[in-house]
């Protein structure tokens, strides 16, 4: 690289290269470009290459600086140096005799955000990028959603990265056969280059220590820049200047990444197409992921997903007359209906807002409260949990998202439930919540779950949203489309609660599309903690919160609902 750091890459080429050269796909990774002695991962890398070669493409995979077999240090996710390295690799590719001068980037998870940022390198050779299951704003969509630190993920991801970088991790032996090892470069016959590279990795950032002390945007840094600044949302001007087409993939149960994809779709001028399935992170599990079709197989299959991605790249790199991956800007899956739909905006045309009010005796109703003194008291239960197979756990190559019947979990929470619906109700959009609260403490987490209750009493998880109380200030100038109240999570906007003083909290839940059948009921469940996922706030004490639901201070849920006429017409056609 420009500063002398050596970056490890693999180049995959077909045996026969046409005279006009090959369009190239590039994937930059923090998780080893190639693994040895790890059968499953090695097979996945091999099959990935075979798919591109069969389509007449070259594939280049890159170990990010400070990781894998590359030299240097990793200063945090998607540093300026890491992204510029990819730009230099693109420059190298187009000079090779086997290149046709075009490059397309793709990747999933970390690699997906890397692909997104290849569009910010300013290289004319880059013709299209495919960010899959990745973050547009890494601060708000993974590290601290709603300002609530995602401690489970940050700790375990950091631990895994130290092991991948070649350093000891408590309880994880470095030489275990099942873990494999990173592939050295071809010239490293005795492994000495890899040893030297991994010695430099010892200076990699300690993300766990950084995140453990973080309470605001300014505390999460990558080199001299903020995490929010090195994310695609922070480099939006460069991405927009490129004009590069984007093809984003995500799932309703993929962390907060559905919000990421929709924010990019509705922000900036790049041609953007988005596909949102019922999936968890990566869409690589055997099951589809819909809670209403638990036995349905993954669709599209992994093979079909690669066909769609390669088709997108070839259309923009080689000009192949391959049909577009979908006819509109957005293709999304409606849970419960188990059907795909197309739209050109979010929320889709035909969606209107309904207000549902928190009421007496745990009711959730369309009618505004009439009680002058209505309120509910809740002592935060720090043992409350969503379990260990959630939308957040799937982010670390995790299991399929499985939210079992939440009826017993809701017993630890403050719940509000509607009467049985008198007609089918399609919720498609980004729900929002307004809570009027008092607390005995200066800070706390407020987590709201949207659920459906079947006539049998089974409770199905649909989506959730959260806000750390000190970050409740609503900013009037969000840097991108957020579909509701925006919170800066910056230090200058921190406002501690005043114990006993009524405060308004407004925040969004993560987007969703779900058909709730007649006779079923809506529910919101309010928590102050999720014991398997988020940081405990406050770290000591037992806060008591009071939710006001009076005439003057009506706490309510805003639901995006598909107009019944549009819904009926769509079902007919």
Q: Which residues are catalytic?
A: 109, 254, 281
What are 534's two structure tokens?
A: 């988020």
* H or E element that contains 468: strand 459-468
* Rounded CA separation 70/59 (Å): 18
User: By three-state DSSP, how is residue 216 classified?
Assistant: coil
Residue 378, beta-bridge partner list: 545
User: Does a cis peptide bond (omega within 30 degrees of 0) precede residue 300?
Assistant: yes
* Rounded CA separation 144/150 (Å): 6
* Rounded CA separation 254/140 (Å): 14
Residue holding tokens 């019944």? Answer: 564
CB 345 within 8 A of CB 397: no
* Rounded CA separation 524/446 (Å): 12
* Rounded CA separation 483/476 (Å): 13
* Rounded CA separation 393/213 (Å): 22
CB 492 within 8 A of CB 313: no
- Calculate the CA dihedral of residues 400, 401, 402, 403 and round it to 10 degrees: 180
* Rounded CA separation 469/107 (Å): 35
Residue 495, beta-bridge partner list: none
User: By three-state DSSP, how is residue 10 classified?
Assistant: strand
CB 230 within 8 A of CB 503: no
CB 404 within 8 A of CB 462: no
Give the N- to C-terminal CA distance of the chain in Å, as an integer.
56
Helices (H), 39-177: 39-54, 80-94, 110-118, 138, 151-164
* Rounded CA separation 147/155 (Å): 17
User: By three-state DSSP, how is residue 445 classified?
Assistant: strand
* Max Cα–Cα distance, the chain, nearest Å: 80
- Please say whether the dihedral angle defined by the alpha carbons of residues 351, 340, 465 and 234, taken in this order, is positive or negative: negative
User: By three-state DSSP, how is residue 154 classified?
Assistant: helix
Residue 379, beta-bridge partner list: 544
Name the residue among 276, 434, 416 with its Cα closest to residue 353: 434
* Rounded CA separation 264/136 (Å): 7
Name the residue among 21, 56, 102, 121 with its Cα closest to residue 310: 56
């Amino acid at each position: 690289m420009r500063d002398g750091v050596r970056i490890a890459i693999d180049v995959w080429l077909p045996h026969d290269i046409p005279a006009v050269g090959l369009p190239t796909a590039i994937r930059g990774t923090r998780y080893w470009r190639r693994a040895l002695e790890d059968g499953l991962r090695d097979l996945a890398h091999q099959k990935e290459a075979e798919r591109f070669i069969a389509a007449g493409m070259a594939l280049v995979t890159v170990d990010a600086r400070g990781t894998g077999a590359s030299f240097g240090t990793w200063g945090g996710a998607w540093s300026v140096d890491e992204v510029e390295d990819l730009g230099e690799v693109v420059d190298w590719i187009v000079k090779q005799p086997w290149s046709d001068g075009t490059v397309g980037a793709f990747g999933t998870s970390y690699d997906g955000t890397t692909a997104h940022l290849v569009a910010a390198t300013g290289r004319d050779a880059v013709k299209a990028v495919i960010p899959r299951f990745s973050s547009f704003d890494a601060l708000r969509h993974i590290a601290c959603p709603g300002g609530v630190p995602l401690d489970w993920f940050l700790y375990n991801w950091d631990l895994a990265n130290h092991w991948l970088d070649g350093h000891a991790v408590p309880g994880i032996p470095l030489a275990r056969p099942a873990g494999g090892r990173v592939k050295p470069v071809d010239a490293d016959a005795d492994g000495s280059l890899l040893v030297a590279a991994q010695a430099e990795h010892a200076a990699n950032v300690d993300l766990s220590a950084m995140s453990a002390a973080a309470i605001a945007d300014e505390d999460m840094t990558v080199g001299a820049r903020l995490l929010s600044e090195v994310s695609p949302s922070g480099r939006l001007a460069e991405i927009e200047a490129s004009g590069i087409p984007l093809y984003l993939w995500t799932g309703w149960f993929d962390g907060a990444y559905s919000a990421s994809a929709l924010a990019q779709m509705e922000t900036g001028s790049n041609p953007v197409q988005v596909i949102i399935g019922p999936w968890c992170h990566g869409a690589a599990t055997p099951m589809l992921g819909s809670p209403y079709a638990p036995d349905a197989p993954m669709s599209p299959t992994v093979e079909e997903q690669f066909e769609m991605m390669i088709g997108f790249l070839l259309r923009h790199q080689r000009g192949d007359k391959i049909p577009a991956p979908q006819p509109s800007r957005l293709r999304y899956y409606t849970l419960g209906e188990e059907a795909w739909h197309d739209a050109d905006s979010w929320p889709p045309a035909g969606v209107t807002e309904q207000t549902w009010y928190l009421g007496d005796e745990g009711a959730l109703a369309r009618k505004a409260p009439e009680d002058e003194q209505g309120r509910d008291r809740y002592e935060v239960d720090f043992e409350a949990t969503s379990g260990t197979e959630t939308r957040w756990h799937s982010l670390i190559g995790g299991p399929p998202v499985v939210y079992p019947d939440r009826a017993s979990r809701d017993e630890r929470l403050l719940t509000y439930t509607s009467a049985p619906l008198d007609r089918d109700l399609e919720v498609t959009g980004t729900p929002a919540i307004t809570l009027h609260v008092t607390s005995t403490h200066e800070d706390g987490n407020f987590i709201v779950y949207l659920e459906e209750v079947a006539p049998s009493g089974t409770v199905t998880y649909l989506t959730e949203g959260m806000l750390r109380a000190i970050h409740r200030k609503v900013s009037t100038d969000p840097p991108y489309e957020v579909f509701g109240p925006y919170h800066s999570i910056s230090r200058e906007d921190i406002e501690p609660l005043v114990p006993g003083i009524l405060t308004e909290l407004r925040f969004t839940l993560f987007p969703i599309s779900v058909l709730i059948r007649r006779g079923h009921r809506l529910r919101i469940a309010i928590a102050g903690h999720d014991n398997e996922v988020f940081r405990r706030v406050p770290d000591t004490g037992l806060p008591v919160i009071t939710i006001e639901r009076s005439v003057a201070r009506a706490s309510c849920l805003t639901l995006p609902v598909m107009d019944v006429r549009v819904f009926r017409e769509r079902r007919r056609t």
